[in-house]
Amino acid sequence: MNLQDAINVLKEKGYKTTGKRKDILEFFASEDGYRPAKDLIVHLENKYGTISFDTIYRNLHLYHDLGILEKTDLEGEKHFRLSCSHHHHHHFICTDCGKTKEIDICPMDTATAELTNYEIDDHKFEIYGRCPACLNA
């Protein structure tokens, strides 16, 4: 999912493409890892001086509902990143910088065998640690 894809999704669904909506997408396009709302707020305050929480969180939820952003709960804060829509995979997440690396292993195919009679709605497989760049810094 890139910037233009995301804007197209917005338009297709009839949402308005405001300047701030584009700013938010650009922010996530320029990062390649999970970022908390806080970072987005700082980024937009640099540009606008002030930004409404409502704008931040409403759009984060909207993008998540539209599949534009992926979300994960890390230490009591929700973190977001642009969705990787090309194929199903999981992530290593650097706990220092938030950058991610794709992991092309999904254990669900074998795991479901242990879950007959269960309804499965979602799953999460994440690996935490420090990336090579942060290890060298």
Partner DNA sequence: TTGTAAATAGGAATGATTACGATTTTGTGA
Partner DNA sequence: TCACAAAATCGTAATCATTCCTATTTACAA
Binding residues for Fe cation: 88, 123
CB of 30 to DNA, least distance (A): 18
* 78 phi and psi angles, rounded to 5 deg: -80, 135
For binding to a copy of itself (CB under 8 A), which residues are involved? 73-76, 78, 92, 95, 101, 103-108, 110-111, 114-115, 117-132, 135
Number of C-beta neighbours around residue 82 at 10 A = 22
Phi first, then psi: what are they for 91, rounded to 5°? -135, 145
* Cβ neighbours of 137 (radius 10 Å): 9
Annotated binding site: 88, 94, 97, 123, 131, 134
Q: Which residue has the tokens 């194929």?
A: 87
Site for DNA in 36-95 (CB under 7 A): 36-38, 48, 50-59, 61, 76-78
Q: Interface with DNA by CB under 7 A: which residues? A: 15-21, 36-38, 48, 50-59, 61, 76-78
